[in-house]
């Protein structure tokens, strides 16, 4: 049989080229998936939530300041707050998330509304 040694018909170079193209395609798909998984967007908050998170920050930082500036989105909705001490909180969530978000009133069994009002949960009843 007759063997062709041109680069076009050489089997080793063709297999290497195909494997290289598959590797490039899979790497670009992986990079796109990671980019979409880590992208986050600002989420609007209510005034009550902003005050609650500010109260939690103030309690955790031992009353660092007495004023806070709400951070607003382009639509005019609240996105977070900025404290006088320089702390800035902006609520962000992943762009694509399949997990249901926890209700704000209770997280891990703690009544956040009672905590923000400095009323112990046991004293409410």
DSSP 45: B
Where in the sequence is the domain holding 18, given as residue range(s)? 11-38
90 contacts: CB under 8 Å, gap ≥ 6: 42, 71, 79, 80
Predicted TM-score (pTM) of the model is 0.50
Domain check: are 68 and 80 in the same one? yes
56 and 23 co-located in one domain = no
- Domain assignment present for 5: no
Question: How many other C-beta atoms can be found within 10 angstroms of the C-beta atom of residue 24?
Answer: 10
Tokens (6 digits) for 35? 């980019």
Q: Tell whether 50 and 106 lie within a shared domain.
A: yes
Distance CA 93, CA 79 (A): 11
Provide the number of structural domains found in the chain: 2
Looking at the fold, whether 57 and 31 belong to one and the same domain comes out as: no
- What distance in Å separates the CA atoms of residue 62 and residue 84, rounded to the nearest whole number? 13
Q: How many other CB atoms are found less than 10 A from the CB of residue 63?
A: 8
Query: What tens digit of pLDDT does each residue of 87-123 get?
Result: 888 888 777 766 655 555 555 555 665 555 554 445 4
**Could you report the per-residue pLDDT of 48-73, keeping only the tens digit for each?**
888 888 888 888 888 777 888 888 88
Residues 85, 27: one domain? no
Query: How far is residue 110's CA from residue 102's CA, in Å, rounded to a whole number?
Result: 12
In a domain, 110, yes or no: yes
Same domain, 103 and 56: yes
81 part of a folded domain: yes
Asked if residue 114 and residue 59 are part of one domain, the reply reads yes
């Amino acid at each position: 049989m007759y063997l062709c040694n041109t680069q076009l018909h050489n089997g080793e170079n063709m297999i290497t080229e195909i494997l290289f193209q598959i590797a490039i395609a899979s790497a670009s798909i992986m990079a796109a998936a990671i980019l979409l998984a880590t992208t986050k967007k600002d989420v609007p908050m209510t005034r009550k939530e902003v005050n609650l998170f500010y109260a939690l920050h103030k309690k955790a930082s031992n009353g660092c300041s007495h004023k806070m500036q709400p951070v607003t989105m382009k639509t005019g909705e609240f996105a977070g707050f900025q404290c006088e001490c320089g702390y800035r909180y902006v609520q962000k969530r992943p762009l694509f998330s399949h997990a249901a978000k926890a209700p704000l009133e209770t997280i891990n069994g703690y009544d956040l509304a009672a905590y923000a009002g400095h009323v112990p949960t046991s004293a409410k009843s």
